Amino acid sequence: MNKTLLILSLIFSIYALDTSAQTKKKKTKKTITKKSTTATPASTSDRSGASTTSPGTSTPTPTTTTENGTGRTPSTPATTTTTTNTTQPSNQLMADGLKSALEVGFSNASDRLGSLDGFFGNALIKILFPPEAKQVETTLRSIGMGKVCDDFLLSVNRAAEASAKEAKPIFISAIKQMSIMDAVNIVTGGDDAATQYLRKTVGVSLQQRFQPLVQSNLDKVDATKYWGSAMTAYNAIPFGTQKINTNLSEYVTTKAIDGLFLVLAEEERKIRKDPISRTTQIIKDVFGWSDILKKGR
């Protein structure tokens, strides 16, 4: 009997301890649940309306949705800014810019006229019979000697084309002789102001320096021979015609220079009117400023 009571007492004690432990666990769970379910406001507003965030509370970052739906902000494409020189260049810079423009212009003119048919294929500058010898051509063609005339015309134009190729050093030397003050006035002048200035100031010296070159090329293409044949044939006609004694070298030199200046004027006009034709920075600076000055007038 005593053993039975002892066993029952032990079982009751163990049961009581187990019940007490389970009760403590339940209380602990309730406490934790209560703490976790108590909402802490993420932010509150003070009296001034400013938003304040409670410590320990993270504020979610809003996601921006772009047109492509990726949530990324598209990069802004780089923009290219073109600046125009609005400051008046110095007199020296204007002179250097104008000379540079003329060198570029004449180089282009020389290349154009120095190519095949540069003179012969251009009706504006094609070299024809001298005015005083126009009757020679008409007469010779009327008696079936047109080939003599054609050979002469082709040869003098080929001589002019060959001379144009070799004319660069002569003309560029003349361009470099331009004074600073003349250059300053020309920069803001008309569309062919520089070309006209060169023609007036260095035309005679150019003729003298250019003529030996033309004569050499006339001889190379047999123009002198064809001219002699034409004159001999004409002067032999017993019509009481007036004798022709044209200085062929001087005539072709004059016409070749006329053609070069005509095309140089075209190139100068391009540089003044079209910014794309301004191939160096100094030309862009000088004529860019000139553009602004003219627009303000």
Between CA 102 and CA 271 the distance in angstroms is 9
| pLDDT the model gives residue 61 | 45
| pLDDT the model gives residue 34 | 43
- Higher pLDDT pick, 191 / 293: 191
| pLDDT the model gives residue 174 | 84
- Return mean pLDDT, the chain: 77
Q: Over the stretch 135-144, which tens digit does the pLDDT of each residue have?
A: 889 999 999 9
The alpha carbon dihedral of 151, 152, 158, 161 has a sign of negative
pLDDT class for 98, splitting at 50, 70, 90?
Answer: very high
| pLDDT the model gives residue 7 | 54
User: Which range among 60-69, 187-196, 218-227 shows the weakest confidence by mean pLDDT?
Assistant: 60-69
Asked if the model's pLDDT at residue 20 lies above 70, the reply is: no
pLDDT above 90 coverage of the chain, percent: 44
| pLDDT the model gives residue 8 | 52
- Higher pLDDT pick, 180 / 43: 180
Asked if the model's pLDDT at residue 10 lies above 60, the reply is: no
| pLDDT the model gives residue 36 | 42
Q: Over the stretch 204-260, which tens digit does the pLDDT of each residue have?
A: 888 888 999 999 999 999 999 999 888 888 888 876 566 777 899 999 999 999 999
Between CA 69 and CA 21 the distance in angstroms is 56
| pLDDT the model gives residue 172 | 86
**Does this model's pTM top 0.85?**
no
| pLDDT the model gives residue 86 | 62
Domain boundaries, the chain: 100-284
pLDDT class for 148, splitting at 50, 70, 90?
Answer: very high
